[in-house]
Structure 1
């Protein structure tokens, strides 16, 4: 996986599907089923539940300190290049950006329509910015200002150099503004600054508790109508995969949705990354709001109205 940088890849081992554990019949909250699923680590060791794994990995303050220190330490030894931050899969960058742009376009047109005609000064936060790959190839073209958050200093310095005004092909109205060399679990954004907080291939380095804590703090950083975009690797069954080398976890879709619920976030839109190499984890994009999305009322055609209903 990778620390607040780039892609959560399988890095040398093929996908280990998380093995479902037997459901605890005394469990009263169905939404927490995903938290009771088993998983594997990168050595193939099985865990019965996520709680068991977290107890072992970060069960006291010393272990938790080691978890984050070793995670950053892994990425401090990685070359500051596309291939480096993408685990040797630099060629997937174009595909990644293509689908992210389509997802972002839909969000802006639906949620921030005033941005389309330049009536709103747009600001984004790129969490786990790495060398600035996503900011440079996507965000800076859509946002007037982009702030970058990355704890690996040589990645952030590379981003700062590549995003200098003289190296940009965008107008003077679009710029990288702030470069924060801070771990995600320690960062609190400026209140009301951001239209979009983009979190890609980095949240797996946070424990469940710090995941919830981060999004709870980061809500304050959103403007009215602003939202989060989370793009992340997905374990293909209901559990998780622990990467012991870089101290990260790849969660399943149901695991993420349970954490979103704990954060008080609502799913606005979800989309699968297309054209992805089979040997890598699947990838999903989530658009998340702090309020329940308004229902869109559509008028059905007569043809649609006469179709038999599907009973769910």
Structure 2
């Protein structure tokens, strides 16, 4: 990725390789520095309250707009990809970076028979387990949260062929580029035929923005698409998030498939002027 970027302290980098070399060591793969990168990131979140406002970086009020935009995107994908001849298909999703189970409870559990949650911060996962107990949510009896994995994204390998949708929201920025690529390559095996990834993330206008506090990188649309290509993933559909405050980064949803889609859906993105507020 050749585009320049900055960090939250105002330092400029001529390209992503320079930034990763600074953060992770020469070649971007120094074991000690990479361990520190990930431990500092988890450590940041271990100090955050297990609430909607906490996991959304003080922007808990955008929860409704987030779900309102995600749901029609998900429903369209399910209608196009998962509603084939097998009407009795048992639908299973994985919620990556699930936090307190906000996306699972408000969205995924209403559309999938089972949802597994993946989250490295233990007190978030315990809050999710409590929130998603059958007596605490209103999903149908045959819809449930099944497994709660307290494992970092970069260390997780899914069960082969378990998932119809792997949903990844506001967490992939914590992965270095090499771990981003290796995660998606491993995770492909977890998809059922016709299954897909949905990635929902903050988008930098150009290049990247490194957050030194929580050890995360906000990538541009071009940066993401270069990584998707390296992962061997194909863009099936994309959509811009609407209804968020102007001071936040833009947010985009990508539907990605390991197979070449018969048709690719494209939407035009309007250029936005924003300052770098972050929903983490």
TM-score above 0.5: yes
Aligned match of 1:67: 37
Aligned match of 1:280: 248
Query: Which SS does the other structure have where 1:78 is aligned?
Result: coil
Query: Which SS does the other structure have where 1:233 is aligned?
Result: strand
Query: Which SS does the other structure have where 1:295 is aligned?
Result: coil
CA-to-aligned-CA distance 1:50-109 (integer Å, 9 cap, x gap): 000000101111110100000000000000000000011000000000100010011011
Contact 2:2 2:16 in 1 (8 A): yes
Aligned match of 1:101: 71
Aligned match of 1:294: 262
Deviation at 1:118, TM superposition (A): 4.6
Deviation at 1:119, TM superposition (A): 2.0
Find 1:242's aligned residue among 206, 210, 229: 210
Aligned match of 1:256: 224
CA-to-aligned-CA distance 1:239-279 (integer Å, 9 cap, x gap): 00000000000000000000000000000000000111110
Aligned match of 1:80: 50
Query: Which SS does the other structure have where 2:117 is aligned?
Result: strand
TM-score scaled by length of structure 2:
0.91
- Alignment length (residue pairs): 260
Q: Quick one: distance in 2 between partners of 1:100 and 1:295? A: 21
Q: Quick one: distance in 2 between partners of 1:79 and 1:150? A: 15
Query: Which SS does the other structure have where 2:37 is aligned?
Result: helix
Taking the TM superposition and a 5 Å limit, the aligned residue runs for 1:147-162 are: 147-162=116-131
Asked if residue 41 in structure 1 is aligned to residue 4 in structure 2, the reply is no
Contact 1:204 1:249 in 2 (8 A): yes
Q: Quick one: distance in 2 between partners of 1:61 and 1:108? A: 40
Query: Which SS does the other structure have where 2:90 is aligned?
Result: coil
Contact 1:145 1:176 in 2 (8 A): yes
Query: Which SS does the other structure have where 1:291 is aligned?
Result: coil
Query: Which SS does the other structure have where 2:256 is aligned?
Result: strand
Aligned match of 1:309: none
Larger radius of gyration: 1
Q: Quick one: distance in 1 between partners of 2:43 and 2:145? A: 26
Query: Which SS does the other structure have where 2:157 is aligned?
Result: coil
Q: Which has the higher contact order (CA 8 A, sep 6+)?
A: 1
Aligned match of 1:28: none
Contact 1:191 1:220 in 2 (8 A): yes
TM-score scaled by length of structure 1:
0.82
Contact 2:236 2:263 in 1 (8 A): no
CA-to-aligned-CA distance 1:119-172 (integer Å, 9 cap, x gap): 211000000000000000000000000000000000000000000011121111
Contact 1:114 1:120 in 2 (8 A): no
Find 2:157's aligned residue among 188, 201, 207: 188
Q: Quick one: distance in 2 between partners of 1:256 and 1:72? A: 23
Deviation at 1:289, TM superposition (A): 0.3
Q: Quick one: distance in 2 between partners of 1:112 and 1:75? A: 35
Q: Quick one: distance in 1 between partners of 2:216 and 2:208? A: 10
Q: Quick one: distance in 1 between partners of 2:263 and 2:107? A: 29
Provide the aligned C-alpha RMSD in A: 1.1
Moved over 3 A (4+): none
